[in-house]
A and B are shown apart, each in its own frame.
Chain A
């Protein structure tokens, strides 16, 4: 069949089906949610949102509602305590102001959350699913991970106040080691205090190699527990072909109001920005009054639009220009004959200039003319 772009599922739609299947096979349950949430919920938790601008409207009962700008907050809000482990996935639209357009956009987001008494297996399973998600997007991918506990302890070892620590973490996220000395000087901290931190944020490579390098950093704080967590999270990838695509990189930072422990970002070749983001977010759970742990990730399908974007060259295969007054049944029959060759057919009484078609055929006197190039 040559049935074209319009009739086939879009690559992102196929990806969503494939991810649903993947997550279901690991026992994750689909979580459907309403598009709306009470605005008050987001206004109390604005610090956790990507953007504090939210589309609001007044419901028929007078309540101020919001179109969901985020999925995770709603899942946490509705997650019961003391119910063991809850494994959920979603594919939902969220409504946010994007940096590039500066206006609201509907963004398709697919992700999963593991909430409850999470343990090292839960974490490594989520990381494994993140890597499998990237594999389904493109075989040329990279899952980069970091540990906020390690970064936090190295940053604290430099000394200085909260503002200085925040500036140091900004340097980490941009791999900027050259501005650290001036940050220390302006904070009245000896430059030598930052030596271990600089070495840490320069590290990037295969997990086993980076773990060894951390151990050799002179003046490093005690991060044995955190390094142990990194090593144990990698266990699931033993003998896996995707192991070579996993990189430890301390430029993956994450908001410390939200995340704690291991955080990760996923990249695929051909997309200039990270397409997947996730990690442990026990800190967010505490701030929302929950005692249990949580780990999850989301993939942003809007970022994949260009990756899959074989631009559709034609609107239809055939433009069938019929003679006015022709018998509708005969026009339909002619179109169906072309359909049977796998072609999409646009029937029109007059040629439409801005409609791009591979072939233009004429239907006159009960016959289709100009089909020479059609096999």
Chain B
């Protein structure tokens, strides 16, 4: 039997996701031990886990370095990787939203300046509304862009809304809901089909039990 290579997102979401895999029978006890190791194997159930940056999970899976992985719907929508999206795990729920300073008034005579790390999502959203925009790509601290006059609005992930509130921003529109998705490499799905289908079915049952 071949190993099933699984890319998990580093951080709190990744640990929650791992617990779900563990409960479904795909545990790898060494994974949660403290240390800086990034690859873990369990030769009992033939799983090999990698911790990778959340935004890189889809890259690992699309290029076949990982057979399956867990990525947020925001990442999938942004990078549009050529992968299968097998399951909504219902974890890490949040939303991609347009936010702006509380006194924001969209002056439609001007091009709207949008600061975001989700350039494709923002572009598609405004293309559908017909609004002319300039994208200002940023990688972090997006919330300060409108405060400093860098942009009119931002497009970003909103979980509880606390960060927005603390920076005097409010939600103008919700673009899409986000949650963690189980993704699979297309070729791996062919050649490790039994392993992937089995894991998907067990995870699906786990999610059903939780929900």
Point out residues on A near B: beta carbons under 8 Å: 140, 142, 144, 174-176, 178-179, 182, 247, 251, 267-269, 271-274
Residues of B within 8 A of A174 (CB): 83-85
Secondary structure at chain A's binding surface: helix, strand, loop or mixed? loop
B85 to A273, Cβ gap below 8 A?
no
Given the interface pairs A179-B88, A267-B186, the reply to whether A273 lies near B82 with Cβ below 8 Å is: yes
**B63 sits at the interface (CB 8 A):** yes
Q: How many angstroms from the CA of A140 to the CA of B82 in the assembled complex?
A: 21
A140 to B191, Cβ gap below 8 A?
yes
Residues of A within 8 A of B63 (CB): 272
Partner pick for A178 among B88, B188, B191, CB 8 A cutoff:
B88
Residue pairs across A and B with Cβ atoms less than 8 A apart, 27 shown, are: A144-B190, A174-B83, A174-B85, A175-B84, A175-B85, A175-B184, A176-B84, A176-B85, A176-B86, A178-B87, A178-B88, A179-B88, A247-B190, A251-B84, A251-B186, A267-B186, A267-B191, A268-B187, A272-B62, A272-B63, A272-B64, A272-B186, A272-B188, A273-B64, A273-B186, A273-B187, A274-B186
**B185 sits at the interface (CB 8 A):** yes
* Smallest CB separation, B135 vs chain A (Å): 17
* Smallest CB separation, B117 vs chain A (Å): 19
- Contacting residues of chain B (85-105) with chain A, CB-CB under 8 angstroms: 85-88
Q: How many angstroms from the CA of A324 to the CA of B185 in the assembled complex?
A: 57
Secondary structure at chain B's binding surface: helix, strand, loop or mixed? mixed
A175 to B191, Cβ gap below 8 A?
no
Point out residues on B near A: beta carbons under 8 Å: 62-64, 82-88, 177, 184-188, 190-191
Residues of A within 8 A of B191 (CB): 140, 142, 267, 269
Which residue on A lies nearest to B192, using beta carbons? A269
B84 to A272, Cβ gap below 8 A?
no
B190 to A142, Cβ gap below 8 A?
yes
Residues of B within 8 A of A247 (CB): 190
Max chain A Cβ within 10 angstroms of own Cβ: one of B83, B85, B185: B85
Residues of A within 8 A of B84 (CB): 174-176, 251
Residues of B within 8 A of A176 (CB): 84-86
Which residue on B lies nearest to A176, using beta carbons? B85
Residues of B within 8 A of A269 (CB): 187, 190-191
Residues of A within 8 A of B83 (CB): 174
* Smallest CB separation, A205 vs chain B (Å): 9
* Smallest CB separation, B86 vs chain A (Å): 6
Which residue on A lies nearest to B62, using beta carbons? A272
Which residue on A lies nearest to B177, using beta carbons? A182
Max chain B Cβ within 10 angstroms of own Cβ: one of A175, A182, A247: A175
* Smallest CB separation, B74 vs chain A (Å): 13
Which residue on B lies nearest to A306, using beta carbons? B64
Which residue on A lies nearest to B179, using beta carbons? A178
Which residue on A lies nearest to B185, using beta carbons? A272
B187 to A271, Cβ gap below 8 A?
yes
A272 to B187, Cβ gap below 8 A?
yes
Residues of B within 8 A of A272 (CB): 62-64, 185-188
Closest 8 CB pairs of A and B: A272-B64, A178-B88, A176-B85, A175-B84, A142-B190, A174-B85, A269-B191, A267-B187
Residues of A within 8 A of B177 (CB): 182
Which residue on A lies nearest to B83, using beta carbons? A174
Residues of A within 8 A of B186 (CB): 251, 267, 272-274
Q: How many angstroms from the CA of A179 to the CA of B177 in the assembled complex?
A: 10
Q: How many angstroms from the CA of A344 to the CA of B175 in the assembled complex?
A: 63
Q: How many angstroms from the CA of A282 to the CA of B109 in the assembled complex?
A: 47
* Smallest CB separation, A333 vs chain B (Å): 50
Which residue on A lies nearest to B200, using beta carbons? A175
* Smallest CB separation, B176 vs chain A (Å): 9
Q: How many angstroms from the CA of A350 to the CA of B69 in the assembled complex?
A: 52
Residues of A within 8 A of B64 (CB): 271-273
* Smallest CB separation, A171 vs chain B (Å): 8
Residues of A within 8 A of B85 (CB): 174-176, 178-179
